[in-house]
A and B are shown apart, each in its own frame.
Chain A
Amino acid sequence: MATLPTSAEKIIAQFGPSLNFPPPEGYPGRDEPDEVIKTHCCFCGMQCGIKLCVKDNRIVGFEPWEEFPFNEGRLCPKGVQRYLQNNHPDRLLHPLERSEGEGFRQTTWDQAMERTVSEIRRIQNQHGPNAFAMLSGVSLTNEKSYLVGKFARVALKTANLDYNGRLCMVSAGAGNKKAFGLDRASNNYSDLEKAEVIMICGTNVSETFPTLTHWIWQARDNGGKLIVVDPRLTPIARTADLHLAIRPGRDSALYGAILHQLIKHDWLDHDFIDHHTSGFEKAAEAVAPYDLAWAETTTGIPAAKILQAAEMWGQAATSFLLHARGIEHHSKGVENVSACINLVLATGRIGRPYCGYATITGQGNGQGGREHGHKCDQLPGNRDIENPEHRKYISGVWGIDEKQMPGKGLTAYEIVEAIHRGEIKGLLSICFNPLVSLPNSTMVREALDKLEHYVAIDFFLNETARHADIILPGSLHEEEEGTVTTAEGRVVRIRKAVSPPGDARTDTSILLELADRLGAGKHFSYATSEEIFNELRVASQGGTADYFGITYQKIEDNMGVFWPCPSEDHPGTPRLWEDKKFCTPDGRAHFQPVAYRDPGEMTDPEYPVILTTGRVVSQYLSGSQTRRIGKLVNQYPEPLLEIHPVMAAKFGIKDRELVRVSTRRGAAEFPAQIVETIREDTVFVPYHWPGRKSVNQLTSGHLDPVSKIPEFKVCACRLEPLGRQAPDAGETQAYASV
């Protein structure tokens, strides 16, 4: 029974989202803080250093942390405003239980825990251990990610644990493992500084990783050229030397065509290909048909520009390729990643200064959180849950019989589908808001309604958690010690600045008590986060993501340590592959043959327009935090339908007119924003909003066959102007849409 206990409006009135603004005179104590804590932003994978000002167990402001080497004090608007999530009026302060007709009522920790454990036991006894699933997220620290992985397998005893990184980095991870046998950015960002050519593929850097913009400009100041591949003219694309406005869903065609040109003009590093790679011939064969005429027709990019990109990339002495969700959120996300890696390998530009390649990891701990057993198929150290040796090693670290270790479970979207089919009956979630962030949200809502028991750990009552039976108030980023691993692969320290308010507890203490009540207490006796980290170090030892040589002290002494770091006297590894010894079985980097195929859903007469989705600079992911911060909401208050004037004229759509956008999954209404900065055949809607304002009512559930990432970046839609201007954004209140 997980339908809403009362109307969404009543729940919102009590739990928000409501908007937090600082008082005009600032919070008391801002100028005389008790402490100034050096930590990191709670949002994206850049993990910018920031100092939080603390007064009376309250974050009252921030100061830039200019000494931290990646961002040197730089912040985006989310970073500047992040402190406003602390002491927010919407903060969950007590355990809650659902109350029919009323909403939620306060309960005690003992009752909430007891009910949770008895429901877990009931469901697992009746339907088997895997009928209770867990969904987690990588805003959690390394310690908590590791703990969740162990908790699900050892205490909850379910195979069905997955995480919101499934919507983020899994295509890149799979592509990197295929090519290099390891999943991490190959270089740190200082290798951007003197790269002659930087190609950024499907990444709106200036809105999603704003502080990375500075590093790209440093290269440009040194004469470097910038190529941007994006269907939209984003702020980083605006000044690029070459902007390739690709048709959504055609990425592997473009990179295949560029490889074709590199081969045709012999812009190749034969020595590197011969001595350090395998599979080149098959990769070359796969792109043999992809001449410029074909590529122009397929990608919608003029042939001359594709050739120019190939020339710039092919003739450079140094280069850096970056990609992100724009090429990864596809039913062929892994193939797109492989097609990009092929360009790097063909020119041998990796493992040397200013020669680099990296996916830009999206979430705060998207890197570390995908390494230590948070995924349905993974054990710590980026080990494989189906590999007998790996199972044996981790079972030894955890002190369990290997036979008790569950096998591979379902991925995030598949877990929700299994709930919808009635196969999974119970759910524990932490740090994940799938009702906003998963595609095809009508199906997600129906699934939540079918759950027999749902318990959510969170600090705000997010849209998904409104469906819960029990809510356990957990902790914010600034309320626990820990570490995260940045997009560069740098392990950094997260500092506890304040304690959880009211009856809220740390996420760690909640998981430890649940484990104890589930009878697994002896495996979960940690006094501190550092103790968890020290066990993680051992668990990761010998895996590809080896943290064994990293200690809290070493991180502090060096403002971060890059893994792999196999021993305490090892300095860490900012740049991978300097020795050209890859982590594949044959020690070589592997080309992958990538034959182009169409996206999961193509336009047709019924749904003639391409719909793509993405983010805006002032919001973060499902908005669970940022839709509660007043100025961030006001900066971009509602999702707009970006549409080219040519397409708008075709459908008779006027600026700010409400447009009904329909796909095979559903329909939603958005105000039109007519701009020349998008392809004529494509419309764009950002996805941070809930309910009727969620574009994920429309996106498709097509998954990549390998990574199981959903295809957020392309589907087919229909547009109908509604003949009336959209109301003022203030009236719509999209941040709290039902």
Chain B
Amino acid sequence: MNAFRTDQEFFLDPQRCIGCHACEMACAECETNGQTSMIHVDYVDRFSTVQTSVQVCMHCEDPVCAKVCPAVAIEKDEFGVVHSARTDRCVACSNCVMACPFGVPQKIEPMQLMMKCNMCYDRTSAGKKPMCATVCPSGALTYTSREEMARKRPNSSPVNQFQFGQQIVKTKVNIMMPKGATKIVVDSE
């Protein structure tokens, strides 16, 4: 299949992240990114644990980054992929950088452009998997069908609803949580 596969979804399972940075290095290889990775791996607190967190664009259903963009540079396509700011429109105001609830977009110097993950559009639009989810050695990042995920990981449930205060954010990317979980409450106040 040489077209975007609508049966394939992105699943992120943070407990499996081993902090190896293969995803970052593979992401940076894409010529669109000019050796800048659009996925980020960080230690949570190296003093007490080797746990790392991996952050990829969650591709929100109603992307705040697009809403706050004064230049209408950020677009969500028919497949739900929220694209990096259009280079001809981005004014480098950083509204999106500040508004994103997941802290994903970056203003990249010296180009003065916002850049973020576009779910490897060059690959996914040709029926391939995103690079990070192809190379991830632990299965922390996976790109497959919901059915396959349910079969392979019977003890986990994919969750794509996040509660920030009163606001619910729904995303295209799923986080794997313990079986039965339906949403992630980030801040319930």
Contact = CB atoms under 8 A, between A and B. Distances in A.
Interface of A: 21-26, 30-31, 61-62, 64, 66, 71, 73-77, 79-81, 206-207, 210-211, 213-214, 217-218, 221-223, 233-236, 238-239, 617-618, 631, 635, 645, 673-677
12 contacts: A24-B35, A74-B136, A77-B25, A80-B29, A81-B25, A213-B138, A217-B139, A221-B153, A233-B50, A618-B21, A631-B28, A635-B21
A238 B49 contact: yes
Contacts of B152: 218, 221
Interface residues of B: mostly helix, strand, loop or mixed? loop
Interface residues of B, number: 35
A652 B26 CA distance: 41
A502 to B, nearest CB: 27
A80 B35 CA distance: 13
Contacts of B16: 213, 217, 239
Contacts of B15: 239
Which of B21, B47, B52 has the most chain A CB within a 10 Å cutoff?
B21
Interface in B78-130: 129
Contact of B34 (A24, A79, A210, A675): A24
A436 B53 CA distance: 33
Interface string B132-168: 0011111100000000000011111000000000000
B155 to A, nearest CB: 6
Contacts of B46: 673, 675
A653 to B, nearest CB: 14
B18 A207 contact: yes
B134 A221 contact: no
A26 B15 CA distance: 33
Contacts of B18: 206-207, 210, 213, 235-236, 617
Contact of A79 (B19, B22, B51, B52): B22
Contacts of A239: 15-16
A26 B29 contact: yes
B31 interface: yes
Contacts of B185: none
B20 interface: yes
A349 B35 CA distance: 48
Nearest to A216: B138
B155 A73 contact: no
B2 interface: no
Interface string B1-36: 000000000000001101111101110110100110
A332 B31 CA distance: 50
A75 B35 contact: no
Contacts of B188: none
A145 to B, nearest CB: 27
A73 B29 contact: no
A25 B28 CA distance: 10
B135 A676 contact: no
Contacts of B35: 21-24
B20 A77 contact: yes
